[in-house]
Structure 1
Amino acid sequence: MKYHCLKNMEKHKEHKSYQCSECLKCFSAKNNLVKHVRVHTGDKPYQCSECLKCFTEKSSLVTHMRVHTGDKPYQCSECLKCFSQKSSRVTHMRVHTGDKPYECSVCLKCFAEKSSLVTHVRVHTGDKPYQCSECLKCFSVKHSLVTHMRVHTGDKPYQCSECLKCFSVKHSLVTHMRVHTGDKPYQCSECLKCFSVKHSLATHMRVHTGDKPYECSECLKCFTEKSSLVTHMRVHTGDKPYQCSECLKCFRQKGRLVTHMRVHTGDKPYQCSECMKCFSQKGNLVTHMRLHTGDKPYQCSECMKCFSQKGNLVTHMRVHTGDKPYQCSECMKCFSQKGNLVIHMKVHAGDKIC
């Protein structure tokens, strides 16, 4: 038996009579040696007539041409999806079979494609082989580098067919399209409220869980959103980055600047459906509507008296607490309401005239 095996091995060696002069690798057919030599010479004799890209093998050119022709001759027998390459169909079939032959030796996670495993392993090694030539930032996946480069080039290849707005990332376009379709695929399991963006659902869930992961390092106040913390920090830093171009007044929040600009433009976008009166701020419209509805949502915990505005309740509570925060600078007399102080100050103004 051993004798026959050795004889067969000798026959295989005899059949590989064509040897590469560079690396001494042997081949059974001269044609295979010719193809192999191109690895060393860099020769690519097969050129695409469409984009002029070159290939070392004719079969590679044939496969490449399907990019231009759109030909997809390999069809999945399960879902009838078609592919331009046979290997792509083989990989796709694992979606149906659940086969994941490539296992990570560190965490034992399995993958359907070898390339996915190679990329995953970088999570453990920390390897980031793709570097940006502009800012030298590194990435573990080539696609991430391609996307990142658009920061420098300004390229936005994904355009909305409705409003023609452009995006640098396809995912951003998909999310944006929900503005036009009204699609909200992410639903809260608690109150069934729906959201167009997954991140918005995650933030919303904190309303139910009470989670506030963003803490101010100055006063330890916590927030559900990072943006709220960033805005809050300006209370401590005094930063007011939003400036009015008309009067140069500055604001901590962009929304406050937008509202303020209506002082100059006279814009009043919020209209009462009952009396058609217009307001520059939504909050003022909400308060105004209570004149029509009779709603008084703010109740005094002492005497149960109700008010339509929170400010009125705060002022009223001083009747019970005896608090008088407004003091006359002339005679030091105190008042519970600012209006009463203003009226009182006229007494001193009259004395000065006399």
Structure 2
Amino acid sequence: MKYHCLKNMEKHKEHKPYQCSECLKCFTQKGSLVKHMKVHTGDKPYQCSECLKCFSQKGNLVKHMKVHTGDKPYQCSECLKCFSQKDHLVTHVKVHTGDKPYECSECLKCFSKKGYLLTHMKVHTGDKPYQCSECMKCFSQKGSLVTHMRVHTGDKQYQCSECLKCFSQKGNLVTHMKLHTGDKPYECSQCLKCFSQKGTLVKHMKVHTGDKPYQCSQCLKCFSQKGNLVKHMKVHAEDKLYQCSECLKCFTDKSNLVTHMRVHTGDKPYQCSECVKCFSVKCSLVKHMKVHTGDKPYQCSECLKCFSQKYILVTHMKVHTGDKPYQCSQCLKCFSQKGNLVKHMKVHAEDKLY
């Protein structure tokens, strides 16, 4: 009797009388077809009360709400990492089992989910369907576009508990925290210098190899890092769209213009909570706070003297190296610091008065 019952259930499973007129997918129940049709109509009647994101099915909204509540009931038995959804745990477990059945036909890299493979394939096809409406930059993934948009909106929701610096991405905050913990697990095999990030080590290795793959199309100068090439290109760029209405100085970035305008307005929105001193840029406040905390992370390798800022250490090192790059044009006397040269020049200026 049980056998016949199971066989009958298999027939029901195979029988899917309800077909979608758009993509021809079939369903066993009419309700499932109705839910599926929302994919094509774009109907999303279920809205999250926290972030206003909308969903086509109530079940997806329920799953999403765990992002805000922090509820992660599914735990990995190997590394004890927790997840809000069961399917995320199932995918994660494959990291430990090594199960990656989906292989890229181009580079043979393997993935645990078909979706990951499809996303990866865009690297080879160059497909970037998601475009930023502000700067027209294109991305292969929607998530990358959403993250990028924070550059324009200024949204930085991840804050460092140590120095109060804010970040638009959680990963950047995690990386930044290593500055405070001093964790540098990546060591250069050539000079034994250590780094907090693997990518920084990879970039550093080019110092030893001499590899400079990024070339300027204007003056043919080469760079080891793409970011340095991008900065350099601004030297040649005549297109400076953002102009100061006061002194007519031009800038390639809107954010630089906004910061510059404070020179004219005298606006100093960043205030120290200890001595009430104000600053025009946030980084100046962060540096200033070290005066109150006594934090001096930069140490001289010669005399072990410590400094709160890196540039002060660099200036101090000239005491040991004897480097004096700043020369007086009047008497040819040399100085290790530009400020000392400026002070010295006043001696000549006073002599001319008499």
Provide the TM-score with structure 1 as the length reference.
0.54
Q: Give structure 1 stretches of 5+ with no counterpart.
A: 1-12, 279-296, 303-308, 318-354
- Residue 215 of structure 1, CA deviation: 2.3
Aligned to 1:312: 326
Aligned to 1:9: none
Aligned to 2:34: 62
- Residue 177 of structure 1, CA deviation: 0.7
Letter in 1 for 2:101: P
Residue 193 (structure 1) aligned to one of 130, 151, 165: 165
Residue 210 (structure 1) aligned to one of 182, 191, 195: 182
Aligned to 1:236: 208
Contact 2:324 2:335 in 1 (8 A): no
- Residue 180 of structure 1, CA deviation: 1.0
Residue 148 (structure 2) aligned to one of 176, 187, 191: 176
Q: Give the fraction of aligned pairs with identical amino acids, expressed as a percent.
A: 69
**1:218-249, Cα deviation, whole Å (9 max, x unpaired):** 12123445454344333322333344545545
Aligned to 1:144: 116
Contact 1:19 1:33 in 2 (8 A): no
Contact 1:35 1:57 in 2 (8 A): no
Aligned to 1:119: 91
In the alignment, the residues of structure 2 paired with residue 140 and residue 62 of structure 1 have an alpha-carbon distance, to the nearest angstrom, of 31
In structure 2, the CA distance between the partners of 1:262 and 1:75, relative to structure 1 (3 Å rule), is closer
Q: Give structure 2 stretches of 5+ with no counterpart.
A: 251-311, 328-332, 337-354
- Residue 44 of structure 1, CA deviation: 4.7
Contact 2:72 2:82 in 1 (8 A): no
Instruction: Count matched residues.
Output: 263
Contact 2:132 2:149 in 1 (8 A): yes
Aligned to 1:164: 136
Aligned to 1:35: 12
Name the SS of the counterpart of 1:151 in structure 2.
Answer: helix
**1:311-338, Cα deviation, whole Å (9 max, x unpaired):** 2399547xxxxxxxxxxxxxxxxxxxxx
Contact 2:102 2:112 in 1 (8 A): yes
In the alignment, the residues of structure 2 paired with residue 160 and residue 213 of structure 1 have an alpha-carbon distance, to the nearest angstrom, of 36
Provide the TM-score with structure 2 as the length reference.
0.54
Q: Does 1:132 align with 2:113?
A: no
In the alignment, the residues of structure 1 paired with residue 16 and residue 70 of structure 2 have an alpha-carbon distance, to the nearest angstrom, of 38
Pairing 1:1-354 to 2, within 5 Å after superposition: 13=1, 19=4, 25-27=6-8, 35-36=12-13, 38=14, 44-70=16-42, 84-85=56-57, 88=60, 100=73, 113-245=85-217, 248-253=220-225, 265=236, 311-312=325-326, 315-316=334-335
Letter in 1 for 2:137: K
Aligned to 2:263: none
Name the SS of the counterpart of 1:121 in structure 2.
Answer: helix
Contact 2:35 2:57 in 1 (8 A): yes
